[in-house]
Amino acid sequence: MAAEVRHGDAASVLRAMPAASVDMIYLDPPFGTQVDWVGKAGRFSDKFKWDDESKSLWAQMTSAHPVLASILEGATVAPRDRAYLVRMVLLFAELRRVLHPAGTLWLHCDDTMSAYLRLALDGVFGIERAMGGVIWKRTNAHNTARSFGRVHDSIFVYGLTRAAKWRLHRTRHPLIQGDPCEGAVVVDGFIDKLFLNPTSKERVGYPTQKPVALLEQFIAAATMAGDVVLDPTCGSGTTLVAATKMGRRAIGIDASADACAVARRRLAEMESETNGKACRESGKGSRRPRRAGSVGDLFEPAPHDERYRNQQTTRHAVSAGFYQEAAD
């Protein structure tokens, strides 16, 4: 399989993964709404408590990121929001570790906690590594009598080095603006008309499911064929489906067993559809479609693997100082 789903708490699963091993991270975590999300195919909780576990995580964060901890302590009012944010900060720190120097992280959120999440990302990645973002208009307006409805989400993008800018620039995607020769490459765009209709065949009944077409935009903007895409809160597996369809390798993690089951089922269905199509086409004399490498060798590439050769090139580039730390 070109995609793999791992069940468990994302930060813990990530601790077992090697550093600099993924080319793109997209995450659509709980938004800190303090509600339980329930669908036909699964549920997850977005409620957080300031309990002993949260306090111990906060102490852990304070020793690793003292400045960020004091900023968040001053900025957040409700203890339950602190309980949410401390988990996000510790997750971002693990994500930064597994992200390749030339890769990018795409964080999807709404305005419930977006200001604090930006603070947290700036604290963990460095404000100079923010590379802009995307606004996604996720649905038609549903204003209430008292207020305008919340109809857009924000996707913040961060890259660790100048090489991340060059890589984005290479994709020639409409979401990527600027020129690395002139110093600036930013992700900037507004995406409209890409939402899942209530009756869409794509819907699997998992709450807050995102459209595959939306993920295809982000993956096309950030990666090349054969790259590794990680979604540490993968839910129903939308990112993995989009990445596999596009010839990328993908790894998903989710704390919900229901989510993992749905994601694996979607991937299996896609695999059997692709195989069926290939058989039908080979009957007509066509060639089998090109497939991405497997994720079995995701972190231990064989020397004959093209990706291994790329990694060797990457290592030389790292030692030659190409991946400068500051994303200027």
Ligand X SMILES: C[S@@+](CC[C@H](N)C(=O)[O-])C[C@H]1O[C@@H](n2cnc3c(N)ncnc32)[C@H](O)[C@@H]1O
Out of 2, 4, 20, 29, the only residue in the binding site for ligand X (CB under 6 A) is: 29
Residue with smaller CB distance to ligand X, 3 or 102: 3
Residue at shortest CB range from ligand X = 235
Supply the minimum distance, in Å, between the C-beta of residue 60 and ligand X.
Answer: 15
Site size toward ligand X (CB under 6 A) is 19
Binding letters toward ligand X, positions 40-69, x by CB under 6 A: ----x-------------------------
Strand partners, 25: 105, 230
3-state SS track over 132-157: EEEEEECCCCCCCCCCCCCCEEEEEE
Binding letters toward ligand X, positions 240-279, x by CB under 6 A: -------------xxxx--x--------------------
Out of 4, 14, 23, 28, the only residue in the binding site for ligand X (CB under 6 A) is: 28
Supply the minimum distance, in Å, between the C-beta of residue 74 and ligand X.
Answer: 25
Strand partners, 249: 228
Residue with smaller CB distance to ligand X, 209 or 314: 209
Measured at the alpha carbon of residue 244, what is the angle toward residues 241 and 246, in degrees to the nearest 5? 110
Supply the minimum distance, in Å, between the C-beta of residue 321 and ligand X.
Answer: 35
Residue with smaller CB distance to ligand X, 112 or 311: 112
Residue with smaller CB distance to ligand X, 227 or 254: 254
Helix (H) or strand (E) holding 267: helix 257-283
Residue with smaller CB distance to ligand X, 217 or 236: 236
Task: Give me the helices (H) in 286-326, please.
Answer: 306-319
Which 8-state DSSP code applies to residue 200?
-
Binding letters toward ligand X, positions 221-240, x by CB under 6 A: ------------x-xx-x--
| DSSP secondary structure letters along 26-53 | EE----S--SEEEETTEEEE------HH
Supply the minimum distance, in Å, between the C-beta of residue 113 and ligand X.
Answer: 13
Supply the minimum distance, in Å, between the C-beta of residue 111 and ligand X.
Answer: 15
Q: Report helix, strand or coil for 188.
A: strand
Binding letters toward ligand X, positions 189-218, x by CB under 6 A: -----------------x-xxx--------
Supply the minimum distance, in Å, between the C-beta of residue 14 and ligand X.
Answer: 9
Out of 1, 6, 9, 322, the only residue in the binding site for ligand X (CB under 6 A) is: 9
Instruction: State yes or no: residue 32 binds ligand X (CB under 6 A).
Output: no
Which 8-state DSSP code applies to residue 299?
S
Q: Are 266 and 276 in contact (CB under 8 A)?
A: no
Of 242, 288, 210, 310, give the one whose Cα is nearest residue 2: 242
Any residues with CB less than 8 A from the CB of 298 and at least 6 apart, and which?
4, 21, 228, 249, 251
State how far the Cα of 183 lies from the Cα of 185, in Å rounded to an integer: 7
Backbone angles phi, psi at 134, to 5 degrees: -130, 145
- Give the chain's end-to-end CA distance (angstroms, integer): 38
Question: Footprint of ligand X on this chain (CB under 6 A)?
Answer: 9-10, 28-30, 44, 206, 208-210, 233, 235-236, 238, 253-256, 259
